[in-house]
Structure 1
Amino acid sequence: MVSFWHVVMQSLGCGGRQIKMSPKNVVLITGCDSGLGHSLAVYCHSLNMTVISACHNANSEGARLLRNLKDPKRMITVEVDLLKPDTIEHVFQYINDFLSINKDYQFTALVNNAGVMCFGEFEWQTSAQFEMQINVNVLGTMRITKVMLPLVREHRGRIINITSHCGLQALPALGPYAASKAALRFWNDSLRIEMRQYGVEVINFIPGSFVHLSNISARQQDHAKVMLQAFNEEQRQFYFSYFKQFNNYLRVISGFKAPNQFNDTYLLEKFRDALTSTVPRTIYIHEPWRYKFYWILFRICPAPIVDLLTVKFCAMPTYDQIMHSTQQHKNN
Structure 2
Amino acid sequence: MLNGNKMGTFSKALLTSFEIINELYTALGAGLLGMIVLLKHGFDSHQSIKTLSVVGLTTASWIFITRQTEKLKASKKESSCDSGLGFSLAQHATDMGFTVIAGFLSLDSKGSKEIRSLYGSNIIQIQLDVTSTSTLHAIINNAAVMVFGEFEWLTEKLIQEQVEVNLLGTFRFSNAFCPLLRQHKGRIITITSHCSQATLPGLSVYGATKAALTAWSDGIRVELKKYGVSVLTFIPGSFTIQSNIMGKQLQNVQEMHDNFTTEQHNFYSDYFKRYNVYLSFITPPTVPKKIEDSNIYNVFECTLLDKYPKVVYKNEQLRYAFYHLLFKFSPWCLRDYFVTHFMQMPEYTPPIDATVYDDDIDDIDL
| TM-score bin (small chain) | 0.7 to 0.9
Residues 1:167 and 1:276: Cα distance change in structure 2 (over 3 Å) = same
Q: CA RMSD in A?
A: 2.2
- 1:306 pairs with 2:311: no
Residues 1:142 and 1:316: Cα distance change in structure 2 (over 3 Å) = same
Runs of 4 or more, structure 1, over 4 Å off, are: 8-14
What CA distance in whole angstroms lies between the structure 2 residues aligned with 1:115 and 1:156? 26
- 1:53 pairs with 2:102: yes
Query: CA-to-partner distance for each residue in 1:80-139, whole Å, 9 max, x for gaps?
Result: 111111222xx4xxxxxxxxxxxxxxxxx8110110000111111101111111111001
The answer to whether the 8 A contact 1:121-1:172 is kept is: yes
Residues 1:37 and 1:236: Cα distance change in structure 2 (over 3 Å) = same
TM-score for both structures, normalised by structure 1: 0.83
Specify which structure has the bigger relative contact order, considering alpha-carbon pairs within 8 angstroms and separated by 6 or more residues.
1
Equivalent residue of 1:138, what SS? helix
Residues 1:9 and 1:137: Cα distance change in structure 2 (over 3 Å) = farther
Equivalent residue of 1:26, what SS? coil
The answer to whether the 8 A contact 2:195-2:211 is kept is: yes
From 211, 222, 240, the equivalent of 2:240 is 211
Alignment-derived partner of residue 118 in structure 2: 69
What CA distance in whole angstroms lies between the structure 2 residues aligned with 1:267 and 1:297? 23
Percent identical pairs in the alignment equals 39
Paired amino acid for 2:218: D
Paired amino acid for 1:262: I
Residues 1:255 and 1:212: Cα distance change in structure 2 (over 3 Å) = closer
Pairs aligned (count): 292
The answer to whether the 8 A contact 1:67-1:76 is kept is: no
What CA distance in whole angstroms lies between the structure 1 residues aligned with 2:62 and 2:189? 19
- 1:216-295 aligned at under 5 Å gives the runs 216-295=245-324
What CA distance in whole angstroms lies between the structure 1 residues aligned with 2:182 and 2:117? 32
Q: Decide which structure has the larger Cα Rg and report it.
A: 2
Structure with a larger share of its residues in strand: 1
- 1:84-163 aligned at under 5 Å gives the runs 84-88=132-136, 91=137, 110-163=139-192
Once the two structures are TM-superposed, the CA of residue 254 in structure 1 deviates from its matched residue by 4.6
Equivalent residue of 1:253, what SS? coil
Once the two structures are TM-superposed, the CA of residue 64 in structure 1 deviates from its matched residue by 1.6
Paired amino acid for 2:265: R
Q: Which moved more, 1:195-204 or 1:13-22?
A: 13-22
Q: Which moved more, 1:198-207 or 1:247-256?
A: 247-256
5+ residue gaps in structure 1? 1-7, 92-108, 325-332
The answer to whether the 8 A contact 1:11-1:281 is kept is: no
5+ residue gaps in structure 2? 1-60, 353-366
- 1:26 pairs with 2:78: yes
Equivalent residue of 1:204, what SS? strand
Residues 1:289 and 1:25: Cα distance change in structure 2 (over 3 Å) = same
